Chain A
Amino acid sequence: DIVMTQSPDSLAVSLGERATINCKSSQSVLYSSNNKNYLAWYQQKPGQPPKLLIYWASTRESGVPDRFSGSGSGTDFTLTISSLQAEDVAVYYCQQYYSTPLFTFGPGTKVDIK
């Protein structure tokens, strides 16, 4: 199984400042035949289901604000919120779908306002 880890477990950022979340996979999720990273990011606010933010490591889902961006390749990935807004308080999960449909999620990173 591909194991996903995230860091930090939680972070507090001032409004308008940058938030950076890291995700690491136990093996590469880059599929060589199409040069795509099988990595997605989800946002989950309290009492709500997860919401898809980014897939293919850097493709933003329709309607997602452009302050959210994804980067990385192979085993190391980053979700960046360029200017944190109050509505961004949530837990963020990375997910690998390289081994789809037996995909796995990271443990989550909680983002709060400082």
Chain B
Amino acid sequence: EVQLVESGGGLVQPGGSLRLSCAASGFTFSSYEMNWVRQAPGKGLEWVSYISSSGSTIYYADSVKGRFTISRDNAKNSLYLQMNSLRAEDTAVYYCARDLELGVLDYWGQGTLVTVSS
């Protein structure tokens, strides 16, 4: 059974940092591209970042470029999102999602809540 389990969320002050993790199991993690997608409270879905299966190709939404860094460790079946210079508007549930093909997201984790507030 495919499982994606996010962790690392919490309350952080504006300007602070957090590192999110996504532990994958039930599939060959190294064969799949992965994404982070976020959802602000009561709002819709916003794609955040993409990483290729090898980690060699990375993309970011303009809203997080220069502040967030996506990475993966295929040996540990894990995906990461390093978030720096956090702003109030980064407050959201962050989901990791497996990319079935070309951006079709077939499995999602339960999400981890990041709250940026003083």
Contacts and interface: CB of A to CB of B under 8 A. Distances in A.
B61 A102 contact: yes
B44 A107 contact: yes
Contact of B103 (A51, A100, A108): A100
A97 B46 contact: no
A51 B44 CA distance: 14
A55 B99 CA distance: 12
Interface string A74-86: 0000000000000
A108 B42 CA distance: 11
Contact of A49 (B33, B59, B108): B108
B105 interface: yes
Nearest to B60: A102
The SS class assigned to the B binding surface is strand
Given A93-B45, A106-B44, A101 B59 contact: yes
Interface residues of B, number: 21
A108 B102 CA distance: 21
Contacts of B109: 49
Contacts of A104: 47
Interface residues of A, number: 23
Nearest to B59: A101
B29 interface: no
Contacts of B108: 49-51
Contacts of A97: 102-104
Contact of B45 (A55, A61, A100, A105): A105
Given A50-B108, A104-B47, 6 more contacts: A48-B110, A49-B110, A52-B100, A55-B100, A95-B103, A105-B47
12 contacts: A40-B105, A42-B105, A48-B110, A50-B105, A61-B106, A97-B104, A100-B102, A100-B103, A103-B47, A105-B45, A105-B47, A108-B45
